[in-house]
Amino acid sequence: MSDFRIMMVLRSVVLFVLAAVAEIGGAWLVWQGLREDRGLLWIAGGVLALAAYGSSRRSSPIRTSAGSSPRAAESSSPDHWPGGR
Residue 33: its pLDDT value, please?
Answer: 96
CA torsion through residues 56, 59, 64, 67, sign: positive
User: What is the overall mean pLDDT for the chain?
Assistant: 80
pLDDT band, very low/low/confident/very high, at 60 (cuts 50, 70, 90): low
Give the C-alpha separation, 22 to 50, whole Å.
6
Query: What whole-number percentage of the chain has pLDDT above 70?
Result: 66
pLDDT band, very low/low/confident/very high, at 80 (cuts 50, 70, 90):
low
The CA-CA-CA angle for residues 11, 16, 17, to 5°, reads 105
- Span 14-55, pLDDT tens digits: 888 988 999 999 999 999 999 999 999 999 999 999 998 888
Residue 46 CB burial class (10 angstroms; 0-12, 13-18, ≥19) = buried
